[in-house]
Chain A
């Protein structure tokens, strides 16, 4: 078999537009996922029994089901159940928000609780309300510890977007699949797709490395 570079050249515009969509879904999903994850993680760590139970149920529900099932549910089942129409893109972003949110919640909870109890007590002993202790004292220390596991989750979420092929979102994997179905050049197309994923995850890793280096881990 001969590796035909021209196939890649021809496929590249479509693959790049797929990669752009992959990045878009990942970014939007992770911004939302971080927000959801922080709220749920802090509810787990510091909430009363009620808030804790809600966050716990959410996290277990999401961690206990595959992301493909989650996105199928959002795309196909929600419209039936609640009579809301979702387009594939919204479903994809929502799936990342909800899915990454659950894992990020555990990261947030773990890193806040890993901060030495004495710091919280020292903050409270000054007469601060708990929220200020969390924002000004525990948060900055916990945040540094979150960076490595968050980076991991970002990479997992980025790759998870490939599963949205099942609802027809034109992200990178879907684009590869469609081109392949037309020209049957599996080796060239999947090599190109793999390399584009590697470039994206590699960039992410690089950014995280730099961030980590800049912040002293406390």
Chain B
């Protein structure tokens, strides 16, 4: 059953067409890795799913709700689709624990004590049980990104969107974030991940999508595509990211 359904979706910024009549179905449990050259529309595609960008044409249905259904429906979509950003975007005035407890408290409306108990469990899950009382500025990039993942998970989404979650990190910090993402995939979380980490795509991804100029030009199994990229531009792209 598909959880995300792009139907002929077009997205423009002024005169610039960024998504060109995209059709795409993503099923529950898929781990979709999205790759493509800079400016091809990967972030935009991801941001349309939780309506951080408004689509201009076609329709986009997430967990049976259209992104065009109005504000309160959009908020429901956002609760179902957690997002992790390249720049972490943790709330700087809150500790790690408060960051994670924030969503459940203010979105789901549960009590502070209960939210913080859940938050502690989530921080433990991303390997940061000891860091709950630290402010974001006191954490490394890799730790901040893991808090951000816990924060998104706290609202209990059915789907997780990752926009280059490791690109802002030093190479030696990337694996700690990727490990958390892999564990999440193994639990059966539906994930859409924009990344240049081809090892992650191969080991964790169930599907690889190559975007070019606002369109999906290759869509298939990561193992096949990475071993034998028939599309010449995909082949060239892979040579550059390896």
Say yes or no: A125-B102 contact (C-beta < 8 A), given A137-B91, A140-B93, A218-B93.
no
- Which residues does chain B contribute within 8 Å of A137, judged by CB atoms? 91
Task: Give the Cβ gap from A19 to chain B, nearest Cβ, in Å.
Answer: 37
- Which residues does chain B contribute within 8 Å of A122, judged by CB atoms? 83, 85, 89-91, 148, 151
- Which residues does chain B contribute within 8 Å of A132, judged by CB atoms? 106
- In the complex the two chains form, is B87's CB within 8 Å of A124's CB? no
Kindly state the separation between the CA atoms of A53 and B52 in the bound complex, as whole angstroms.
25
The yes or no answer to B42 lying at the interface (CB within 8 A) is no
- In the complex the two chains form, is A136's CB within 8 Å of B102's CB? yes
Contact stretch, chosen from B71-79, B120-128, B211-219: B71-79
Chain A interface (Cβ < 8 Å from any Cβ of B): 116, 118-119, 121-129, 132, 136-137, 140-141, 144, 218
Task: Give the Cβ gap from A133 to chain B, nearest Cβ, in Å.
Answer: 9
Chain B residue with Cβ nearest A130? B71
- Which residues does chain B contribute within 8 Å of A121, judged by CB atoms? 52, 83, 85, 89
- Which residues does chain A contribute within 8 Å of B155, judged by CB atoms? 126-127
- Which residues does chain A contribute within 8 Å of B50, judged by CB atoms? 125
- Which residues does chain B contribute within 8 Å of A124, judged by CB atoms? 52, 78
Kindly state the separation between the CA atoms of A126 and B115 in the bound complex, as whole angstroms.
15
Kindly state the separation between the CA atoms of A129 and B79 in the bound complex, as whole angstroms.
11
Chain B residue with Cβ nearest A125? B83
Kindly state the separation between the CA atoms of A129 and B72 in the bound complex, as whole angstroms.
8
Sample of 30 A–B contacts (CB below 8 Å): A116-B87, A118-B85, A119-B89, A121-B52, A121-B85, A121-B89, A122-B89, A122-B91, A122-B148, A122-B151, A124-B52, A125-B52, A125-B78, A125-B81, A125-B82, A125-B152, A126-B102, A126-B107, A126-B151, A127-B77, A127-B79, A127-B103, A127-B107, A127-B155, A128-B75, A128-B106, A128-B107, A129-B71, A141-B91, A218-B93
